[in-house]
Amino acid sequence: MDELERAVINRLQGGFPLCARPFAAAARELGTDEATLIAKLEAMLDAGTLTRFGPMYDAERLGGAFTLCAMSVPAADFERVTALVNAHPEVAHNYERAHRYNMWFVIAAAARAQIAPLLATLEAETGYPVLNLPREQEYFIELRLVA
């Protein structure tokens, strides 16, 4: 990773300016020029070092309803339950974790009222109870990953 890539990761995860030539302004801050910065961001996106460049939205504050769910699924039944859970478009991501609660997924629905019926459907389809763990409070994240 070169110096400019490191600077992008460490200093450009936020604060991208709202002005006519924001890449030029950001480039001055990072000690480079507009064209070089744009080319570097393109290269980092292509290489997968960055997943995106732009506004990072808080999906919940945009108006959707979200919750984190956990299930304890016997190993022999895990693939069947995975297929049933993943088949619902409201299941945004799903992770297997090394724990008694071995399946953890996030539900993203348009409205809060849709969540309880969906959880009831998942329990009926799979035969296992679902722990519903919505976020009650987020603790502000000031610092980010560094390169």
| CA pair distance 128, 73, nearest whole angstrom | 7
The distance of closest approach from Cβ of residue 127 to another protein in the complex, given in angstroms and rounded to an integer, is 16
Q: Does 131 bind another protein (CB under 8 A)?
A: yes
Residues 26-45 that bind another protein (CB under 8 A): 34, 38, 41-42, 44-45
The distance of closest approach from Cβ of residue 117 to another protein in the complex, given in angstroms and rounded to an integer, is 19
Q: Which helix (H) or strand (E) holds 25?
A: helix 22-30
| CA pair distance 107, 45, nearest whole angstrom | 28
| CA pair distance 135, 126, nearest whole angstrom | 24
The distance of closest approach from Cβ of residue 113 to another protein in the complex, given in angstroms and rounded to an integer, is 18
Q: Does 94 bind another protein (CB under 8 A)?
A: yes
Q: Does 18 bind another protein (CB under 8 A)?
A: yes
Find the length of the chain: 147
